Amino acid sequence: MPEPRATFGARLASAVEQWGSLCVGVDPHPSLLEAWGLDDTPEGLRRFSHTVLDAVSGRVSVIKPQVALFERHGSRGFAVLEDLLARSAANGLLTIADAKRGDIGSTMAGYADAWLRDGSALAADAITLSPYLGFESLRPALTAARESGRGVFVLALTSNPEGASVQHVGGENSVAQRIVRAAAQENLADGPGSVGLVIGATAGKAVRELRLELESLNGPILAPGVGAQGAGRRELDAAFAGVSGVVLPNSSREILRAGPDVSALKEAVEATQNALRTPAEAGSGTD
Ligand SMILES: O=C(O)c1cc(=O)[nH]c(=O)n1[C@@H]1O[C@H](COP(=O)(O)O)[C@@H](O)[C@H]1O
């Protein structure tokens, strides 16, 4: 019998200790493929993915493939994603499949089976989930993740301006606040929890206004919005001061624009890591 895998929260914490917290997004936008001199085809996606993998392996702890940008190419795009997930695991990189799944419980089980089950071709270390159908509707994914040592990141306070119309309404009892509380309940056991949240790196003001109880989460936070969406170290500090768990700033386009040269991509990764380590006063962007 193989040893059961350690929890995602524990695996993530030790990877972050070794490689730092930057999460590089693998977002093969058609415009980036073109800029890299690649065709907008499954073969273009494959070459894009392998180049990113070459540049980030041994440099970061975690990558986040954006599923829609593979899905655009149908079954052949999914085959490239499967290959990327397998190669990442072989290279010691953790993967967050950015699929933003959410459904009624009975069919949510199908998504959980696809993304969070040992032996599934699409299995990643964690997946992003949308709680619009109610946090409890995500239960099949929460259970599958717990049973297989995987994790989830539930959207709480997203980086896009439209999110506010749903997530911020209700003040201290906002949807975002209730998602934070529900996730914290899942992470009550000892050790770092595996039920994470997505909170945009750009969301600092809302984090404070809604008085999100992030200190009690005991789980990781995925913070997209670094670089192309304007967030830097200052915005991360503004949003997550006082949070003791792992915060994973994600940057996709700003790093990927440095490709297709692998050395240039490596430099872009390092530059981002350094900028996020620089004291807050040196941060860029807006609150
Ligand atoms: O779940 C996400 O990853 C996500 C949530 C969110 O609130 N905002 C957000 O930008 N994202 C994703 O994070 C990535 C951001 O990409 P860049 O703006 O190019 O760095 C994209 O893949 C988005 O789909």
Which are the catalytic amino acids? 100
Q: Which atom of ligand 1 is nearest to the CA of 128?
A: 1
How far does residue 196's CA lie from ligand 1's centre (Å)? 15
Burial tier of 165 (Cβ tally within 10 Å: 0-12, 13-18, 19+): exposed
Radius of gyration, alpha carbons of the chain: 18
pLDDT of amino acid 1: 64
Q: How far is CA 235 from CA 168, 172, 202, 225, 226, in A?
A: 18, 21, 6, 10, 9
How far does residue 256's CA lie from ligand 1's centre (Å)? 13
Average pLDDT over residues 58-86: 98
What is the predicted ipTM? 0.99
Confidence of residue 103 (pLDDT cuts 50, 70, 90): very high
Average pLDDT over residues 110-123: 98
Q: Which phi-psi region, left, alpha or beta, contains residue 211 (left: φ > 0; alpha: ψ -120 to 50)?
A: left
Confidence of residue 282 (pLDDT cuts 50, 70, 90): very low
> In this predicted model, what pLDDT tens digit does every residue of 130-168 receive, in sequence order?
999 999 999 999 999 999 999 999 999 999 999 999 999
> In this predicted model, what pLDDT tens digit does every residue of 160-204 receive, in sequence order?
999 999 999 988 899 999 999 999 999 998 889 999 999 999 998
Would the pLDDT of 284 be above 50?
no
Percent of the chain past pLDDT 70, that is, above it, reads 96
- Average pLDDT, rounded, for the chain: 94
How far does residue 5's CA lie from ligand 1's centre (Å)? 28
> In this predicted model, what pLDDT tens digit does every residue of 22-40 receive, in sequence order?
999 999 999 999 999 999 9
Would the pLDDT of 287 be above 80?
no
Confidence of residue 281 (pLDDT cuts 50, 70, 90): very low
Confidence of residue 286 (pLDDT cuts 50, 70, 90): very low
Average pLDDT over residues 108-116: 98
Would the pLDDT of 69 be above 70?
yes
> Measuring from each residue's beta carbon to the nearest atom of ligand 1, which residues come in under 6 Å?
25, 27, 66, 98, 100, 128, 158-160, 198, 200, 224-225, 227-229, 250-253
What the chain holds in terms of domains, given with CATH numbers, is 8-274 (3.20.20.70)
> In this predicted model, what pLDDT tens digit does every residue of 231-247 receive, in sequence order?
999 999 999 988 989 99
pLDDT of amino acid 5: 86
Residue whose pair of structure tokens reads 């995925």 in the numeric block: 222
Average pLDDT over residues 47-72: 98
Q: Which atom of ligand 1 is nearest to the CA of 100?
A: 1
Rounded to 10 degrees, the C-alpha dihedral 49/52/58/61 comes to: -80
Nearest CA to ligand 1 atom 12: 224
Residue 152 tokens, joined? 């989830």
